[in-house]
Amino acid sequence: MKSSNEGLFFMFTSLCSGTALVLVTQVISKQGVHPSSQLAVWVQYVGHFITSTMQLQASPKKADCTRRQSIFKFSIGVCHVCAYLTVIIAMTKIGAAMYQIIYSSGLVWAAIVSRVVLGKVPSLQQGVAILIVTAGLVLNGVKMMAASAPSSGVPASDLLTGSLLTLFITLLFVLMPVLAELANKDLPPQKHLSSAEIGNTTARVGLVVLTVYMLVYTLPAWDSLVTQPLATTGTPLVTVVVWYLGSALLYSLHSHLFLETGRTCGAVGNGLVNAVRSASVVLIGAALFCAPEAQNLCLDQSKMITVSLLVLGGIVYTTAPAATYITAAKKDVKKTQ
């Protein structure tokens, strides 16, 4: 019961922090700094490195991970950095609407990957919940495609490239909790990798890659990427700094909760959180940003149905029995024979 309550706690807090991070990112994107500068991402990795290092120093657990755990830990970091840096390219190719449609399929992919790699079979109630959420995502996808079709003049090559990149991103994020579970396989709980250990490695990988990127690309073009855009929008530098620092802290918190959700609920739990998060973003976005000149952000009948399905699926899933391991079941059968 304690484990179940712990999983629900991390799912809920991950949902809240993820929703807040999306909204903060939306605000930052309107301040003027060109997204190709990757400045916000670099600040987030710096913040995550500092906070995860503080967690490790305060933890009584020693970092005595096995070689296998070190390899998986580094692999998780590479997956995260590759996915995070590819998002901008994918969204540039196909737009935010199509990107969200494909990315929301992560719940389904998580169930498939967990079944194939980990041997996890969802319970009947969990399967029903996945179908309900999938129906909501499909409805939302059809609505978004219909809304964006008339104004879409995107070349077929860009659509294909962007779609494949988004699928690549989705699978990488799905793989992260699966790799974390594989890293701890057959080890006692006290030997399991903590979220701080995984997060610190991810932050270090991201920090190295982003620092090289900043030195090679961003700093030489600082005037055109940062100074001039901020002057055009009239955003004070102090405002930018405050929002970036807030974003870094929020990102660090969400990364920790994302990994804890994966630890307690698996990849499917994270997939469900991402799906339901889209519903919360729709509701909060409508409350904050709905206006006559931004009707696409307002609620309509289709969005209400989608939100209802996502919330219903979330409730059904969180009240369902846990998934079972078919591999373990087979071993038990063999033992009894």
pLDDT surpasses 60 at 154: no
Q: Where are the alpha helices (DSSP H) in 104-214?
A: 106-113, 124-148, 156-183, 195-213
- Least confident range from 17-21, 238-242, 271-275, 296-300: namely 296-300
In a domain, 336, yes or no: no
In a domain, 203, yes or no: yes
Report yes or no on 205 lying in a domain: yes
Q: How far apart are CA 133 and CA 123, in angstroms?
A: 15
User: Which residues neighbour 306 within 8 Å (Cβ) at sequence distance 6 or greater?
Assistant: 136, 137, 139, 140, 143, 279, 282
* pLDDT band, residue 1 (cuts 50/70/90): very low
In total, how many domains does the chain have? 1
Structural domain including 73 reads 2-326
Question: Does residue 132 surpass a pLDDT of 90?
Answer: no
More confidently predicted of 149 and 337:
149
Q: Is 120:307 a contact under the CB 8 Å cutoff?
A: no
pLDDT band, very low/low/confident/very high, at 4 (cuts 50, 70, 90): low
> Which residue stretches of the chain are H helix?
2-29, 39-58, 67-103, 106-113, 124-148, 156-183, 195-213, 222, 228-233, 237-289, 301-318, 326-336
In a domain, 334, yes or no: no
The number of angstroms, rounded, from the C-alpha of 299 to the middle of its chain's C-alpha atoms is 24
First to last CA, the chain: 31
**Whole-number percent of the chain with pLDDT over 70:** 83
Is the confidence at residue 336, as pLDDT, over 50? no
**Whether the Cβ atoms of residue 114 and residue 323 lie closer than 8 Å to each other:** yes
pLDDT band at 78, cuts 50/70/90? very high
Tell me which long-range contacts 243-247 makes (C-beta under 8 A, separation of at least 24): 243/24, 243/27, 243/28, 243/31, 244/28, 244/39, 244/40, 244/43, 245/43, 245/47, 246/24, 247/21, 247/24, 247/25, 247/28, 247/40, 247/43, 247/44
Cα pseudo-dihedral 24, 274, 205, 82, rounded to 10:
-100
Identity at 245, one-letter amino acid code: L
- Using CA of residue 300, residue 306, residue 311, residue 312, what is the dihedral sign? positive
User: Does residue 46 lie in a domain region?
Assistant: yes
pLDDT of residue 94: 72
| Residue 291 domain-assigned (yes or no) | yes
The answer to whether the beta carbons of residues 172 and 83 sit under 8 Å apart is yes
Range of weakest confidence among 104-118, 177-191, 252-266:
104-118
Q: Does pLDDT of 231 surpass 70?
A: yes
CA distance 243 to 27: 8
Confidence (pTM): 0.77
Across the range 145-161, mean pLDDT stands at 63
Give the integer Cα–Cα distance in Å for 123 and 92. 39
CB atoms within 10 A of CB 229: 16
User: Is residue 332 in some structural domain?
Assistant: no
Backbone conformation region of residue 234, classed left if phi is above 0, alpha if psi is from -120 to 50, else beta: left
Q: Which of 13-17, 39-43, 46-50, 63-67 has the lowest mean pLDDT?
A: 63-67
Average of pLDDT values for 120-127?
A: 80
Q: What is the arithmetic mean of pLDDT over 276-294?
A: 73
